[in-house]
Amino acid sequence: MDEIKLSDDVIEQIKDFYYKYSTEEHESLIDKLITDKELKERYKKYGLCGNCKQPNTHYEWCRPCISNYFQQNFKNWTSGNHDIDEFIQKAQLKASSDNKIIEWIEYDKFEDVEYLAKGGFGTVFKAVWKDGPWKINRSGQLEREGETKVALKCLHNSQDITAEFLNEVESHILVRTDCSWLIQCFGITKDPKTENFIMIMELKEGSLRQHLNNNFISLDWKKKLFALQGIAYGLKEIHNEGLIHHDFHCGNILSGSDSDIYTSITDLGLCQPANVKSSQNSNKKIYGVLPYVAPEVLRGNEYTQKSDIYGFGIIAYEFCTGLPPYYDIPHDEFLAMKICQGLRPKSNYKIPQLIVDIINQCWDADPLKRPNAVELRESIEKLYNDIDDNKVDSVIYRQVKEADEINKKASFPVQLPLSSTSMLSYVTHPQAVYTSRLLDFKNLPQPKNANNDDLEYSVSLSVDFTKLDINSKDENN
């Protein structure tokens, strides 16, 4: 079936209108001339393409014209890997805006490459991309952004990268929106020395874990709720596309500078080795960071969107208390067993009860009792708005005030300004692992909720904040 287009006669009659500020007369004429509903909506939202004169498919974006540009350029580049070439070409033809473009980028386009961190399945560097990503100008033409700082995620053992892995990576592009709480993926390159493939990502200063280490004492409940609201919003975007993150932990939540409370989700689709094949993956191998993995997944059940919600509950606890879950005990089969029996992180740091209720719902042993991402975002947004609007008669406002008073008396200086000695700090157990890895536990018990008073806790689960070590030895993530 041929694509429906505006006729030359219709284009001639509306080409001089400015779609954003059309008069009632113009609106009436447009309704009369453009009978196709989709074309009419596109024209009213985005106007006409400067090249083909058909309605744009996005703001200053004409997908047919830009797809044609990329298609004509296919012959001018190759990664040397058929699956990667096909993956990039497919994504370029489907791109609906400039922040969904990915491309093959030669490694010599990067300079000032510096090591940042090592994760479970990759090593991250920062670099300067000399050309920078594509952007769309006001004329609807593609042009380069210019020098741009980016993150290079080198994928371990990816010389034989699989199509299955690339299909997962495509999730990054599918869920990216104009105003997103998700890290943008710009494309793929290859290390000429190791021949490992590299994902080119938007650069953030560090992980949420690092941000909490440096800034927790200065974070009030309004800032905490704002950040959690953003994380919930990003998770909602992922789930709205019918996708699952699969590796939702604090190391995969990135933040900007120390003064920046905006957070972004990353590593969607990168929760397994790049060379894992579908035949291997069919054995239900579990990859992840143990404290954030839902008990039903640890026991061998399928990972679901509600499993992501469990991970959010652990992240929310971490954001509220400042400390990683189970940081001073081994992340081993015994901990996995205790989690299935109902063990959850616990702290003597006072958290407003309405926030505690949300966290408890998220990490309920029964996935069906956990909220979905939409409900989660709405619940947190309401609490944030009540504090932001200074509603002194609201329940959350009173609970926040009470929590702050209790925490002051507990000698944890949450209201004091940061100083050179006020960095949140702790010593992690050598077997507490906060990078993704294979989790292979057998014969775990049926997941259940438990009365926390009946459970044996590690020191980290009932923290005395007056005895925190000021010199952190936590270098995870």
| pLDDT tens by residue, 31-48 | 888 888 888 888 888 888
Provide the 8-state DSSP code for 13: H
28-67 exposure pattern, b = at least 16 Cβ within 10 A, e = fewer: ebbeebbeeeebbebbbebbbbeebbbbbbbebbbbebbe
pLDDT at residue 458, rounded to an integer:
42
Q: What are the residue boundaries of the structural domains of the chain, listed by start?
A: 8-56, 67-202, 206-467
Q: Can you tell me the distance from the alpha carbon of 26 to that of 296, in angstroms, rounded to the nearest whole number?
A: 58
Instruction: Tell me the average pLDDT across 134-139.
Output: 83
Nearest Cα neighbor of 100 from 177, 158, 42 is 177
**CA distances (Å), origin 462, targets 133, 353, 422, 465, 467:** 47, 17, 21, 9, 12
Taking 90 as the threshold, does the pLDDT of residue 445 lie above it? yes
In this prediction, residue 461 has a pLDDT band, given cuts at 50, 70 and 90, of very low
Residue 342 is given by DSSP the state: T
Closest CA to 192 of 306, 139, 308, 113: 113
Q: How many angstroms separate the CA atoms of 222 and 388, rounded? A: 7
Helix axes 305-321, 353-362, angle to 10 degrees: 150
Among 207, 203, 99, smallest CA distance to 151 is for 203
Dist CA 123 CA 152 (whole Å): 8
Query: What is the structure's pLDDT at 185?
Result: 87
Band (330; pLDDT cuts 50, 70, 90):
very high
In this structure, which amino acid lies at residue 196?
N
Average pLDDT over every residue of 87-97: 89
Q: What is the pLDDT of residue 272?
A: 55
pTM of the entire predicted model: 0.82
Query: Quick one: which of 37, 44, 35 has its CA closest to 10?
Result: 35
The residues pairing with 398 across neighbouring beta strands, listed in sequence order, are none
- Which residue intervals of 217-372 are DSSP H helices? 221-240, 278-281, 295-298, 305-321, 333-340, 353-362
141-145, 181-185, 397-401: which has the minimum mean pLDDT?
181-185
Q: Give 456 or 199, the one with higher predicted confidence.
A: 199
Q: How far is CA 452 from the centre of its chain?
A: 31
| Mean pLDDT score of the chain | 83
- In 403-442, DSSP assigns E strands to 437-439
Tell me the backbone φ, ψ of residue 213, rounded to 5 degrees: -55, -40
Domain 67-202 and domain 206-467, same fold? Reply is no
Residue 356 pLDDT > 80, yes or no? yes
Domain 67-202 maps to which CATH number in 3.30.70.890, 3.40.470.10, 3.40.640.10, 3.30.200.20? Answer: 3.30.200.20
- Sheet strands side by side (includes 263-265): 206-207, 253-255, 263-265
Residue 206 binned pLDDT confidence (cut-offs 50, 70, 90)? confident
Residue 230 has pLDDT above 80, yes or no: yes
Among candidates 209, 205, 88, which has minimal Cα distance to 476? Answer: 209
Q: Residue 199: CB partners within 8 Å, gap ≥ 6?
A: 122, 152, 153, 155, 169, 185, 188, 270
Pick the CATH number of 206-467 from 3.40.50.300, 1.10.510.10, 3.50.50.60, 1.20.1260.10: 1.10.510.10
More confident residue, 470 or 402: 402
